[in-house]
Amino acid sequence: MSLRVGSREFEVKVSLEGVDLGRVSEALEGLGFRYLGEVYEEDHYVDLRSCSSYRYGTVLRFRRSETPSGTEFRLTYKGVVESSRVKAREEVEIPLPDGRLLEVFRKLGFQTIRLAKRRRVYARGELRVFLDVVEGLGSFAEFEIVNPES
């Protein structure tokens, strides 16, 4: 587990409603992307609107990830989105030893919003592509790069 502080994340999300994810996977592999595996992610977004220094668009997310190799927990802060075409923003990610921090937020009175998804992960160089099936929302592709050179 590593701490990612002061990272700059750039991402684009696209709805894939009605699109065959198998064909998208084949197309990605045809473009040289490597399939890295599948993960189940359960996100809990902490409602920060009651905080005096809250800025619209900032996110605090608690994530539980389940892979064949085990379960991981992470807390992620995402700053204000700086661009409308591509989500560009600061990101700080902290690995956690277990899921107790979520309970601490709840005991402090914070509400959380739960979002769960099955995610297929692909990579080519520094570019990551995630094919997500999100409970209650549908299918999406997310293109992400962290700290690009330009």
Q: Express each pLDDT in 57-104 by its tens digit.
A: 778 899 999 998 999 999 998 888 776 677 788 888 999 999 999 999
Q: Express each pLDDT in 119-141 by its tens digit.
A: 999 999 999 999 999 999 999 99
Q: Which band of pLDDT confidence, cut at 50, 70 and 90, is reported for residue 1?
A: very low
Q: DSSP string of 32-91? A: TPEEEEEEEEEEEEE--TTSTT--TT-EEEEEEEEETTEEEEEEEEE-----SSSEEEEE
* Statement: the pTM of the whole predicted model exceeds 0.75: yes
Residue 5 has pLDDT above 60, yes or no: no
Evaluate whether 8 touches 147 at the Cβ level (below 8 Å): yes
